[in-house]
Structure 1
Amino acid sequence: MYSLLAYIIQVNILLAVIYLGYYGLLKRLTFYRLNRGFFLIGAVFSFAYPFLDIKSLFRKHVEPVGKWLGYLPDFYTQQVGKSAYTLENVIYSCIVIVGLWFAVRLCLQLLSLLRIHIYSRKAIWKTYWYQNVLFPIVPFSFLNKIYLHKEQHQEPELYNIFKHEDIHVKGIHSMDILMFEILLIVCWYNPFVWLMRRAVRQNLEYLTDQQVLNKGVDRQTYQYSLLNISKQGASLGVSNQFNFKFLKKRIMMMNKKKSSKLQLSKYAFLLPIVIFSAGAFTISKADEKITETTEVVREKQLDITTRPDTTKTPPFEAKFLKSKSEIDQTQDYLYLYDRKVLSKDDFFQIDDSELYGMMFSSKGALKVRYADYNDKDGIISAYSKEERDRQQEQRAKALYVIDGVMQEGKESMDALDPNEIESIDVLKDKTATERYGDKGKYGVIIITTKK
């Protein structure tokens, strides 16, 4: 899998696009229910889209994974060790440490909610069930319960409070708030997430006010009651509070003329923008494999073997084996040791201490290099430590050809961006010398870039 850091960047870029789309096109519309859905679907999509092959909607990939893998020889090597103290790991550590602090803060808020619940008693006012808290609090709802200190409010206030909070309860608005609190824990470093969290809370209040007025409540009376309700007492950031912070904006939105249905076209306009943005930053599964393969070519010791010059190669599976115990002996494999064919019995008699590594290649690999063994179920390749040393010496002398230009030494390949590589061909022995003379006697690696 590609770097976790790349995934984090992709997710946060799309979260920013979603908020900016809301701020630029949707914020002033009165389609609050659609805005709610936009935020919820957008947040989920932001975390899912890096795993989707959205680029395929725009273009067909020019290099199938199977063809790329077909160019690679059978080899097994040990990856070069990397220090744990890298910039990437430092970034991960900072994200986790601060994220844990926000997680602790959320847990403390939930504990405060539990305390309020413990110090409350179930009661009923007219047709509304609620939790009557024993000390002053700002009225709020959480999940399916409404909390308030009844003695703190007059009868007209209670009517509007219950009308308001009952809509929060029936709309399960607490789940939206919890979802974006968790999003803040994960993406606290993204300023657009803070703005989105605030916008979600605002939109829920607009939606609730709209539905209260749709039930026949007088607009002016309702607005005056909002101004007169007592604001004294404890409050919780994780709840649906009878919110006063955005009261001026709420009153302005209540007095705003309903948006025309023609304004719905803004949602249709925003959808392709979000999809296009996602496609622009997606690492598709095919590109992911190409990147991984290029890293293998860079960081590991290549065994330069012969591949037919122009033959199209079918896709095949290849994986490294840690021991002979991983080999399925019920299958009829072609066994190779230092590229020499061995019988199954001779192969299993090789001392494990002599092995540098092993690799399994599925049946498709037979068509690439061992067409005479097409009746086999695949290839088990093993290499000795002596062969490893020989390969390392040979690889250092290999000729690299990048976009038709001969380069001596692997430094030229190391300087390439893996995302710019379109294909790799590997030539050796007679095929290499026929095409490149003495310069190709140690093998030739032909690299074609997308440019």
Structure 2
Amino acid sequence: MEALITYILKSAGILSIFYLVYIALLKRDTSFTTHRRFLIVGILASAILPSIYFTRKVIAGANNFPVNENILSTQKVSKELTAWFGIWEVLGSIYLLVAACLCAKIIVQLYGVFKVISNSNHYKSKGFKFIETEATISPFSFFKYIVYNPASHSKKDLEIILLHEKIHASQLHSLDTIVANLITALLWFNPFSWLYKKSMLQNLEYIADKETVAVSGEKKSYQLALLHISNTHLQPAITNHFYQSFIKKRILMLNKKSPQQPTVWKVGLVFPLILAFMLTFNVKIEAKTDKEVPVEVKTGKEIQGDPIYILNGEKTKKGIIDLIDPKFILSMKVLKDESAISLYGEEAKDGVVIITTKVLNKSKEKAPGTKKKHSLGFQRFEKKSNSTNNFQINKNEKLSPLVIIDGKTKDKRFMEDELQPKDIENVKVLKGKAAIAKYGKKAKNGAIEITKKKDKTPTE
């Protein structure tokens, strides 16, 4: 659902850019055919471009630190975290409900038009289908059908009106009208989508007005015809009808001189704005090593719900976790239910994924003759937990790490059966050479250093 909402928001953004360019640069010009193409391209762009992404590659240096690549987990997931009904689902459901209602309204309107056409007798003339009706209705066209009431207009006005509707029909303006209505249904939350529809319908009338005068050569008679029918009439929606509420604007645009220079350069200004939008919102980052090997974190079975992620003691996002090379992971721990909430609060109701990475500290120079030490990081637990033991060590004794509690060596049974998380002050995990350098070969499988809280009596 999040992907759907993101797509819709980007689509609304692109449509808004086209509308603002149209209002700022094109609306006052009389290149109406160019405007029609521009507005149609805007709709197509808003439908297609949100699904197109640029890829930016980030080169990450290879890890030259020799460590044991076996990941030490301090807890296993007993069951999958349950999915929760989040904000994206709520917003998506509201959006789909309203969009479905508006689309249903369009279907009802189309049904009404088809009903008028199917229940009326028509005659054909020069590729058009004319329907005469006795209803009090403004003349309108729907694709090749032209509906009018001959008794409502004089013969001279009717000739001009029918010529106007023929231009609508011949140029398939009904298709533009349907698409404009669909845009408002799908992007109903965006105010610019409603203004976009209005601009499209007005521009179609400007085209028909201009070409009607060009064909008939009677500009004055045409303007008088507009005034004669300026009283309100009923007309079906989703149609191109002769009467419009903006008669004054149509007359003004009809008398406005066409620009001597084409408006193509104005149309071109929308492209850098769209490119800037795409580079801001439609760029995917692909991390690679210097050997061009894609970096991908595989954490096993996908965790459901919305757990929080802790990376080296700091809260982060799943997108950052996905960029981590598995070779850099020292340990991964999953907490859930009460053990997660007790440490991180209600925010962790869907669980906590704690990841500690291998850190190579290069910031400090080592004195000659001293051994190089590597900081491997640790996870500190400061809040109390009433949960049961969270530690699980490999059941194979040969592969088990060395357990050190308050400086004393303990076996794995002590961790599994007697050690409680509420008694722990902090935990530090060592691996590879760092563990062997401190505890000898017995720590070849790693070492876990646990410090218990001082106010507790040590359990022997």
Please state how far the C-alpha of 1:186 moved relative to its aligned partner. 0.8
CA–CA separation in structure 1 for the residues paired with 2:431 and 2:185: 57
Percentage identity across aligned positions? Answer: 25
CA–CA separation in structure 2 for the residues paired with 1:90 and 1:225: 52
Structure 2 residue corresponding to 1:392, chosen from 327, 333, 336? 333
Whether the aligned pair in 2 keeps the contact of 1:398 and 1:442 (CA below 8 Å) is no
State TM-score, norm by structure 2: 0.61
The equivalent of 2:242 in structure 1 is 242
CA–CA separation in structure 2 for the residues paired with 1:275 and 1:6: 18
1:269 aligns with 2:273: no
1:212-247 superposed Cα distances (whole Å, 9 cap, x missing partner): 122242211111111113756531121001132111
The equivalent of 2:293 in structure 1 is 314
Whether the aligned pair in 2 keeps the contact of 1:141 and 1:147 (CA below 8 Å) is yes
1:16 aligns with 2:11: no
Please state how far the C-alpha of 1:409 moved relative to its aligned partner. 3.8
Q: How does 1:139-154 map to 2 (within 5 A)?
A: 139-154=139-154
Q: 1:181 to 1:109 in 2, by over 3 A?
A: same
Letter in 1 for 2:162: F
The equivalent of 2:168 in structure 1 is 168
The equivalent of 2:81 in structure 1 is 80
The equivalent of 2:339 in structure 1 is none
Q: 1:397 to 1:218 in 2, by over 3 A?
A: closer
1:318-353 superposed Cα distances (whole Å, 9 cap, x missing partner): 99999xxxxxxxxxxxxxxxxxxxxxxxxxxxxxxx
Q: Give the SS at the match of 2:279.
A: helix
Q: Give the SS at the match of 1:398.
A: strand
CA–CA separation in structure 2 for the residues paired with 1:8 and 1:256: 38
Higher relative contact order (CA 8 A, sep 6+): 1
CA–CA separation in structure 1 for the residues paired with 2:58 and 2:437: 24
1:430 aligns with 2:432: yes
CA–CA separation in structure 1 for the residues paired with 2:362 and 2:133: 79
Whether the aligned pair in 2 keeps the contact of 1:30 and 1:259 (CA below 8 Å) is yes
Q: Which structure's residues are more often helix, by fraction?
A: 1
Q: 1:199 to 1:397 in 2, by over 3 A?
A: closer
CA–CA separation in structure 1 for the residues paired with 2:355 and 2:185: 51
Root-mean-square deviation (CA, aligned residues, Å) is: 4.3
The equivalent of 2:401 in structure 1 is none
CA–CA separation in structure 1 for the residues paired with 2:151 and 2:168: 22
Please state how far the C-alpha of 1:163 moved relative to its aligned partner. 0.9
Q: 1:432 to 1:235 in 2, by over 3 A?
A: farther
The equivalent of 1:258 in structure 2 is 258
Letter in 2 for 1:80: L
CA–CA separation in structure 2 for the residues paired with 1:222 and 1:172: 22
The equivalent of 1:62 in structure 2 is 57
Q: 1:45 to 1:442 in 2, by over 3 A?
A: farther
CA–CA separation in structure 2 for the residues paired with 1:273 and 1:172: 30
Letter in 2 for 1:82: A
Letter in 1 for 2:58: E
Whether the aligned pair in 2 keeps the contact of 1:16 and 1:193 (CA below 8 Å) is yes
Q: Give the SS at the match of 1:189.
A: coil
CA–CA separation in structure 1 for the residues paired with 2:113 and 2:45: 30
The equivalent of 2:182 in structure 1 is 182
Q: 1:233 to 1:25 in 2, by over 3 A?
A: closer
Q: 1:392 to 1:317 in 2, by over 3 A?
A: closer
Letter in 1 for 2:23: Y
Please state how far the C-alpha of 1:203 moved relative to its aligned partner. 0.6
Whether the aligned pair in 1 keeps the contact of 2:131 and 2:146 (CA below 8 Å) is yes
Q: 1:430 to 1:178 in 2, by over 3 A?
A: same
Letter in 2 for 1:312: K
1:94-128 superposed Cα distances (whole Å, 9 cap, x missing partner): 11111122122212211221231133211367996
The equivalent of 1:449 in structure 2 is none
The equivalent of 2:53 in structure 1 is 53
Please state how far the C-alpha of 1:260 moved relative to its aligned partner. 2.6
Whether the aligned pair in 2 keeps the contact of 1:119 and 1:133 (CA below 8 Å) is no
The equivalent of 1:359 in structure 2 is none
Q: 1:434 to 1:103 in 2, by over 3 A?
A: farther
CA–CA separation in structure 1 for the residues paired with 2:434 and 2:27: 64
Please state how far the C-alpha of 1:401 moved relative to its aligned partner. 5.2
Letter in 2 for 1:35: H
State TM-score, norm by structure 1: 0.62
The equivalent of 2:30 in structure 1 is 30
Specify every segment of 5 or more residues in structure 2 that has no aligned partner in the other structure, as ranges: 63-68, 302-324, 336-352, 364-374, 382-428, 449-460
CA–CA separation in structure 2 for the residues paired with 1:403 and 1:202: 67
Please state how far the C-alpha of 1:136 moved relative to its aligned partner. 2.3
Letter in 2 for 1:314: V
CA–CA separation in structure 2 for the residues paired with 1:410 and 1:195: 56
After alignment, is 118-127 or 240-249 more displaced?
A: 118-127
1:16-39 superposed Cα distances (whole Å, 9 cap, x missing partner): 111111111111111111111111
The equivalent of 1:104 in structure 2 is 104
CA–CA separation in structure 2 for the residues paired with 1:442 and 1:169: 82
Whether the aligned pair in 1 keeps the contact of 2:229 and 2:243 (CA below 8 Å) is no
Provide the aligned length of Structure 1 versus Structure 2.
Answer: 331
Q: How does 1:49-448 map to 2 (within 5 A)?
A: 49-54=49-54, 61-63=56-58, 80-84=81-85, 86-123=86-123, 129-229=129-229, 231=231, 233-282=233-282, 284=283, 286-287=284-285, 312=291, 314-315=293-294, 392=333, 396=354, 398-399=356-357, 408-409=378-379, 429-430=431-432
CA–CA separation in structure 2 for the residues paired with 1:4 and 1:410: 39
After alignment, is 189-198 or 122-131 more displaced?
A: 122-131
Q: 1:123 to 1:410 in 2, by over 3 A?
A: farther
CA–CA separation in structure 2 for the residues paired with 1:259 and 1:315: 54
Please state how far the C-alpha of 1:399 moved relative to its aligned partner. 4.6
Specify every segment of 5 or more residues in structure 1 that has no aligned partner in the other structure, as ranges: 68-72, 294-309, 323-364, 370-389, 412-426, 444-451
Please state how far the C-alpha of 1:198 moved relative to its aligned partner. 0.3
The equivalent of 1:43 in structure 2 is 43
Whether the aligned pair in 2 keeps the contact of 1:30 and 1:258 (CA below 8 Å) is yes
Larger Rg: 2
Letter in 2 for 1:144: K
Please state how far the C-alpha of 1:144 moved relative to its aligned partner. 1.3
CA–CA separation in structure 2 for the residues paired with 1:436 and 1:220: 100
Whether the aligned pair in 2 keeps the contact of 1:122 and 1:129 (CA below 8 Å) is yes
Q: 1:276 to 1:248 in 2, by over 3 A?
A: same
The equivalent of 2:415 in structure 1 is none
